[in-house]
Structure 1
Amino acid sequence: MKRSSSGRRARRASTGRSRLSLRDLLSESVAGILQRPARSVLTALGTVLGVGAFIAVLGLTGTAASQIDTRFSKLTATEVNVEDTGGQDSARVPLAFPEDAEKRVSRLNGVEAAGVYWRVRLGPNDPVRGAPIGMANGADSQTQVIAASSGVLDAAHSRFAEGLPYSEFHDRYRQQVAVLGQATAARLGITTLRTMPAIFIGDTPFTVIGIVKDVDRKPDILMSVVIPRSTAEAIWGPPSDTRAQMLISTHLGAASQVSKQVAVALRPEHPEYFNAVPPPDPKSLRTAVGNDLGQLFLVLAGVSLVIGAVGIANTTLVAVMERTAEIGLRRALGARGIHILLQFLAESAALGLVGGLAGTSIGSVAVVSVSVAKQWTPILSPVTLMSAPVLGLLTGILAGLYPAWRASRIPPVEALRR
């Protein structure tokens, strides 16, 4: 007995336990992947899409948030709206804005342009027409008429397809001129200003001197007929059913201060007649929009990663079934269960890592391409770029755990029988 046990120990010492070096593990994993390259590419595709979506989501969300901040700084953060409250009900004035309201406001530091406007209330017998009564063009009862001082068109950053905006001269002398939005002009049958066209509001003619094709503020101009404030007040009187308002365009950073000063500048004796609305905080809105976009697209990226993980798990499981004989041969030659587990786990991890690297590249290219097309500045965090391949690696490891464990549990005798 002593000789027998000592002989077994001697044989065990001479042969040693089976070992699997890191070099052998990597070479076996690469060989397993390259054995069926088409299947490996399709298996990694899910991870590529998931990681690519992850990079694109974070990159485009950051880029879009930056653009939101920029646009709000240039437009919303430079806009002040002043509402005419008219005072208390007992002493309510129909129009609190003085005739020289624009000049008073323009003296404030930081003001670019300002103008008073209101919607003109037309009677049932005062439709807007593109021709006199009895001619081809019928009445348009859907078109609204806006009474506005010349500064409104400047404050709205109006861009003209044809013609020009009216000026302070037209305001001062109550000229019967009109500026049309492009859609309104087409609806009234006015396609060019070369023929010096006119429109009729009721029986009153107005010469069309400009057609607006786009604005940065107050988009209802594009669907309206805009006439001088003084002309509208002379024909239809001050606003009745709606209160007048003032649109102010300021330099960047001046809107908040202008909103505090404008009521006193308009009427020092009655600043309570006005309510100045300062621009909203762009930072809070940018954060809200960025969070909404991030949550939405991260869910899509997570779904893609789950699909990629399922694909890797399914392919690895099929590979285990197809390579049962190989597993049995390795076990018969001395490979342990842990070696089989590590081999298949390394293959799935490699697929996940390759998919993560490819997805990172594709996502980065997508962010840069969209930014170039939109003339944005792309924003990609180095932390995101470094973590994306790791995310693909973890996806591959998690997806390959069960198939690798199942492969390690196959008995050698049963495997060789197959």
Structure 2
Amino acid sequence: MTTPPPRPGAGPRARLAPRDVLALGVLRVRSSPVRAMLSALGICIGVATMIVVVGIPASSKKALENDLASLGTNMLKVEKATGGGGPDIPLPEKADAMTARIGPVSSAAALGKLPSTPIRRNAEVDQGDTSGVSVVAARGDLTSTFQADLYAGHLPTPDSALPTVTLGSDAAHSLGITDLTARDGTGPQLLIGDAWYTVTGILRAVPLLPELDSMAIVGWRSATQQLAFSGHPDTVYLRATESQLADVRAIAPATVNPQNPEAVTVSRPSDALAAKQLTDTAFSSLFLGLAAVALFVGGVGVANTMIVSVLERRTEIGLRRALGAARGQIRIQFLTESVLLCLLGGAAGLVLGTAGVAGWALAQDWPAVLPLPAALGGLGSAVVVGALAGLYPATRAAALTPTEALASA
């Protein structure tokens, strides 16, 4: 009695090696490069957006940290309390000298505003047209406390009665002063109140104290004698030992105004920059949501492409099934194609997003920072989207029987 031959497909299934699976996926992508490129475009945009919205805030944060490291986070700002319905109690005239006596304080400087004092290029300009520049009197160790770089010239001498003024960066721009030497060899002149002042310095932008950028700074004695300054500071800035900054902050109100410590507030200018960074982070979360939407749309596009591919390749699927290919092999083939499409899109998005971050950081003069979790997360999300997008088409292709697939050819 002869043994009947085995039925086709009844023996053990041949397993596809990983290299064979990858070759099948690459073959289909290479055979339709335009379709593959368009299918991966949505994933590319989503991953690039994710990289950009994570990398740009990271670069901004690094630049901010570098600025704070150079400017120092050990500054405190002392000023009179406002609001609350209580009496308006000004800071004592010697408030800066009193704070300088605190042990950990290394330097202190005081600013007093002259709100009703106009500043003009000449007498023909209306007194109300100050170009947004405010006049302040300054006293104390200005160089060590402010740590502001000078674009040109020098800061005013607090005890000098000479009519000289130093402009912040925005103030100089608003008043049209970019050079300290006029054609006749004298410095530019400004009419402050009814007195002529010579511009002897221009500050660069001060990130830690942006209010200085729009100020015109005159000496304390000069403001008292020529501009009817009251002598009461509005703000005292001080530098203290970093490790003891909290203690200095706690005792500063009672030191500045022992009789009314509640009329004094103490803040840390670097906290404002930290709050700004939190705002940037909130916007980054919003854009990350948009990146997720872009990834979802890209995944839908890939899924649509794979479904169309299953419909177009029913003959191929039926032939492979008739020759003994298992359902799992058909499923893994289409899943591989889907994941490969999304991985290619994710790699392109990573390159595009990295270039975007580097370009923006270069334009802003920031250090370019690309967090490794963002890069790995972008590629990982592309793979996950590819697997999810290809799951249904792969399952549908695997469910086709050889007769169904070949009958529809």
Query: 1:342 aligned to 2:332?
Result: yes
Q: Give the Cα separation in 1 of the matches to 2:278 and 2:177.
A: 43
SS across alignment from 1:139: coil
Q: What are the residue-to-residue correspondences of 1:9-88 with 2, within 5 Å?
A: 10-12=4-6, 16-17=10-11, 19-23=13-17, 24-69=20-65, 71-72=67-68, 75=71, 77-84=73-80
Q: Give the Cα separation in 2 of the matches to 1:334 and 1:96.
A: 95
* Percent of paired sites with the same residue: 29
SS across alignment from 2:151: strand
C-alpha displacement of 1:337: 4.4
Task: Show structure 2 runs of 5+ residues with no match.
Answer: none
CA 1:267–1:384: 2 relative to 1, 3 Å: closer
Query: 1:206 aligned to 2:197?
Result: yes
Task: Show structure 1 runs of 5+ residues with no match.
Answer: none
Q: Which residue of 2 aligns with 1:233?
A: 224
Q: Give the Cα separation in 1 of the matches to 2:323 and 2:370.
A: 54
CA 1:330–1:285: 2 relative to 1, 3 Å: same
TM-score (norm 2): 0.77
Query: 1:115 aligned to 2:115?
Result: no
CA 1:110–1:365: 2 relative to 1, 3 Å: farther
Query: 1:310 aligned to 2:310?
Result: no
Q: Which residue of 1 aligns with 2:282?
A: 292
CA 1:157–1:292: 2 relative to 1, 3 Å: same
Determine if contact 1:43/1:351 at 8 Å carries over to the other structure.
yes
Q: Which residue of 1 aligns with 2:120?
A: 129
Determine if contact 2:156/2:217 at 8 Å carries over to the other structure.
no
Q: Give the Cα separation in 2 of the matches to 1:275 and 1:131.
A: 38
C-alpha displacement of 1:157: 3.4
Q: How many residues align?
A: 396
CA 1:238–1:365: 2 relative to 1, 3 Å: same
Give deviations 1:354-384, integer Å, cap 9, x for gaps: 4445545555566566667745373634x65
C-alpha displacement of 1:310: 1.9
Q: Give the Cα separation in 2 of the matches to 1:149 and 1:226.
A: 10
C-alpha displacement of 1:344: 1.7
Q: Give the Cα separation in 2 of the matches to 1:25 and 1:312.
A: 19
What amino acid does structure 2 have at the position aligned with 1:378? V
C-alpha displacement of 1:398: 1.1
Determine if contact 2:79/2:91 at 8 Å carries over to the other structure.
no
Q: What are the residue-to-residue correspondences of 1:96-245 with 2, within 5 Å?
A: 96-98=92-94, 101-122=95-116, 127-132=118-123, 137-143=124-130, 144-149=134-139, 151-152=141-142, 155-170=145-160, 174-185=161-172, 188=175, 190=177, 192-194=179-181, 195-234=186-225, 235-238=227-230, 244-245=234-235
Q: Give the Cα separation in 1 of the matches to 2:188 and 2:290.
A: 54
Determine if contact 1:356/1:388 at 8 Å carries over to the other structure.
yes
Larger-gyration structure (1/2): 1
C-alpha displacement of 1:22: 1.9
Segment drifting more, 107-116 vs 280-289: 280-289
Determine if contact 1:156/1:216 at 8 Å carries over to the other structure.
no
Give deviations 1:66-97, integer Å, cap 9, x for gaps: 554554565573221112369xx999765513
